[in-house]
Structure 1
Amino acid sequence: MTQVSGIWLEDRAAQTLLGALEAESYQAYFVGGCVRNALLGLPVKDLDVATSARPEVVIKLAKELGFKPVPTGLEHGTVTVVGKGSVLEVTTFRKDIETDGRHAVVAFSDRLEDDAARRDFRMNALYADRSGTVTDPTGGVADIEARKICFVGAPDQRIREDYLRIVRLFRFAAQLGFGAEGIDPLAAQAAARLSYGLRHVSIERQTSEILKLLGADELMATLSLMQETGVLARILRGVSLPVLQRFVDFGESEPVARLAALLVFSGEMPLRLSKKEQRLFDALRSFAWSTQSGEELAYQTDALTARKAVFLRAALAGGVADVSGLEAAAEQHLPLAAKDLPHLSGKALGDALKHAEKVWIASGFTLSKEQLLDEK
């Protein structure tokens, strides 16, 4: 009998809710990532609960317990229960009625086995009761012990239900530290065979998974397998794994920065980044191909951005990176201000300040106010 433990298992709101559901003769279990990560010795961040109780029952019990139920996905049986310092995603056992590769029409079930059969990977189809006793209907514990990722049932069927599972296969391998060798060969073959289906998946969902993948430790071998199977080209074109490898070797782990390194030769941006992420992506790629100094970029942005940019340029050139002056450059302030040029106004004043700043930067931030005023 497999047991899990950890502070997460003692969560007061979760224990109270599961206890209340059991007292009403419903089944209720912790499920998925929290159980998986506990068995792997990894941090548990999110608490998901699976239950035979219908959403309206969960909402009623949550209110009676003094919790706040939020109907975040009633059509799929999900209620977010906000307890005292806890957030629980509580979902009724389900079985798929119809799938189209993106979305599923589900029916509620009273059977844990039905719920497990519709999940993506066996390691994610693990259930733990309030005491930590694990129920393993698909063989997920053995997969975790072998550090393998296998689909529940037939890989082709699981993928056709949701093509994003192709990317999740590789993301979990990298994120959990299994690496490419941890991917079941049958799963990899199915991912290659059905990768065309990724065109049915929204850009937003693909972006989320790719950024999670790029932030993982076991990245490079996993990306290499994605490239070999043809999956990577379905999502990102013009990639450079050698540049990314050198960038990673500098110790850079930020996902968007790694994306800029991966796509440094590409003219496309097939993913949908936030405005902040896009600014960083554009700044890094632009700097990599420019003659701008790292110190100038640090002054214009910040030392951290400049550090990533200098590393990317070095990775592109296959050279060394000097980041020693970036912190000091980021702290610099132009010694000349508008009040120092009282005889100018409007566009003339703006042009004069821009020119002075350009000369000051070119001097290595060494020119004084007086020297800048003397500059013609």
Structure 2
Amino acid sequence: MSTIKIHINTISILKELLCLYNLLQAHGDVKLVGGCVRDMLLGLAPKDIDLATTILPQEVMRILSLNQIKCIPTGLEFGTVTAVVNHITFEITTLRKDIKTYGRKAEVEFTDEWLEDAKRRDFTVNAMYASIDGTVMDFFNGIEDLKNKKIKFIGNAEQRIKEDFLRILRYFRFISYIGGNSIDENSLMAAIKLKSGLEKISGERIKTEMFKLLSNPFAKKSIRLFEKTGIDQYVGMPEIYNLPELNFIIGNATVNLTLILKALKISAVELNGLFKRWRLSTLEKKELAFLREYQYPWPLNAEIKLHQREFYRLGAYFKNAILVKASTEEQYTLAEEFILASTTWRYPDFPLKGEDLIKLGAIGPKIGQIKNLLLETWIENDFLYDKDELLDIATKISLK
């Protein structure tokens, strides 16, 4: 068993963690678990803090409620309760072992054995626990695998994948997270052998996992493995990638569907395939269809008023439209600055209504046509024309 310690006191939410830990530890054993332990061993700040405990979930709920801590029965039948302390959420899960598995779901039995709980986890680097003093409990040499940058399934790799075929994508996602040049051949071979199982996974889960993968710093390594192993065809990826573009979005916090499609250099046929495979929403499809044809008209270093006008025209599409325009690191930085600035941009209401044009004698389709023309004139003049000025322009246009 490991005697390595992590520095718990570096956690930014230590006060809230200690509050929760001290309450629960009085009733049973409690440890940090999973990704937060892994990240601290990597020297990274953990994004979330998950806790594992020997206390039964109903008892966890009772303890939290008695101490006026908000608790949510997130997955009570699987032992999981979410606690909210000072608006910070913590997932608390009772130790358990799988009796039967049904894809991502399982029939579980609660236990007080830490080894039994660790056995049901996916990878060695995700199956470590830490006491509040920082002592790490590591049953499967996860610390060593983390040092070697190696992602390895716990136990029989094929069996773990068959429990939930999404674990194939999770395997590649964690490769994209920790990097390195070491590959566990047994895990990789199992993923290749069972890759067709990804066809059973819903598009929503595939899409979510791919977003996470592409936002990781070493995503290129996983993308190369996709190509070599044929995994790409099971997750909706096209045959041709725009590698320079892909380099720019990898590890970027603004990774989203539009940028992914731009980077993948996707064709119309492949786009339809991705629509189907990733189960995109109607709104996502509509935006992608628009942005596929739309060309952002201004250089990113153009004066700010040109971008402000375009923001008014595009509304919610502005963010992705300007990101698609970027093609260098410098341009991406500039685009993100405009996106941030746009949250403060305010515009007056367009002062003209259709009924104003009807009073001038406009009829039928001409009403909408003239209104759109005047709207564009108003935008181009930086939203400064008032109602009377716009009506004066309207009188010079054929209204019939």
- 1:98–1:106 CA contact under 8 A, matched in 2: yes
Q: Distance in 2 between matches of 1:335 and 1:93?
A: 60
The SS at the match of 2:50 is strand
Q: What is the identity, as a one-letter code, of the residue corresponding to 1:12?
A: K
Alignment of 1:134-213 (within 5 A): 134-174=136-176, 176-178=177-179, 181-213=181-213
The SS at the match of 2:92 is strand
Q: Equivalent pairs: percent with the same residue?
A: 31
Shift of 1:119: 0.3
Q: Distance in 2 between matches of 1:98 and 1:115?
A: 14
Shift of 1:84: 3.3
- 1:336–1:372 CA contact under 8 A, matched in 2: no
- 2:165–2:197 CA contact under 8 A, matched in 1: yes
- 2:23–2:63 CA contact under 8 A, matched in 1: yes
Q: Distance in 2 between matches of 1:84 and 1:371?
A: 57
Stretches of structure 1 lacking an aligned partner (at least 5 in a row):
315-321
Q: Distance in 1 between matches of 2:136 and 2:249?
A: 41
Give the count of matched residue pairs: 358
> Is the alpha carbon distance of 1:8 and 1:359 closer, same or farther for their aligned partners in structure 2, counting shifts above 3 Å?
closer
2:302 maps to 1:300: no
> Is the alpha carbon distance of 1:333 and 1:308 closer, same or farther for their aligned partners in structure 2, counting shifts above 3 Å?
farther
- 1:67–1:83 CA contact under 8 A, matched in 2: yes
* Residue of 63, 79, 82 corresponding to 1:80: 82
Alignment of 1:235-274 (within 5 A): 235-242=235-242, 245-246=244-245, 248-249=247-248, 253-261=254-262, 262=264, 264-265=266-267, 266=270, 267-268=272-273, 269=275, 270-274=277-281
> Is the alpha carbon distance of 1:16 and 1:354 closer, same or farther for their aligned partners in structure 2, counting shifts above 3 Å?
closer
Structure 2 counterpart of 1:41: 43
Structure 2 counterpart of 1:310: 325
Alignment of 1:50-69 (within 5 A): 50-69=52-71
- 2:241–2:265 CA contact under 8 A, matched in 1: no
Structure 1 counterpart of 2:366: 348
Alignment of 1:81-100 (within 5 A): 81-100=83-102
- 1:30–1:128 CA contact under 8 A, matched in 2: yes
The SS at the match of 2:11 is helix
> Is the alpha carbon distance of 1:58 and 1:184 closer, same or farther for their aligned partners in structure 2, counting shifts above 3 Å?
same
- 2:357–2:367 CA contact under 8 A, matched in 1: no
Deviates more, 1:222-231 or 1:233-242: 233-242
Q: Distance in 2 between matches of 1:223 and 1:177?
A: 14
Alignment of 1:274-289 (within 5 A): 274=281, 277-287=284-294
**Length-normalised TM-score, structure 2:** 0.76
2:26 maps to 1:15: no
Q: What is the identity, as a one-letter code, of the residue corresponding to 1:15?
A: L
> Is the alpha carbon distance of 1:274 and 1:130 closer, same or farther for their aligned partners in structure 2, counting shifts above 3 Å?
farther
The SS at the match of 1:241 is coil
> Is the alpha carbon distance of 1:9 and 1:143 closer, same or farther for their aligned partners in structure 2, counting shifts above 3 Å?
farther
Q: Distance in 2 between matches of 1:165 and 1:83?
A: 31
- 2:98–2:109 CA contact under 8 A, matched in 1: yes
The SS at the match of 2:223 is helix
Shift of 1:96: 1.1
Measured on the aligned residues, the alpha-carbon RMSD in Å equals 3.7
Q: Distance in 2 between matches of 1:161 and 1:69?
A: 29
Encode CA deviations 1:232-256: one digit per residue, 9 max, x unaligned: 21110534312x5335448875221
The SS at the match of 2:73 is strand
**Length-normalised TM-score, structure 1:** 0.81
Encode CA deviations 1:126-146: one digit per residue, 9 max, x unaligned: 101111111111111111111
Encode CA deviations 1:2-28: one digit per residue, 9 max, x unaligned: 11124438633432333343333x221
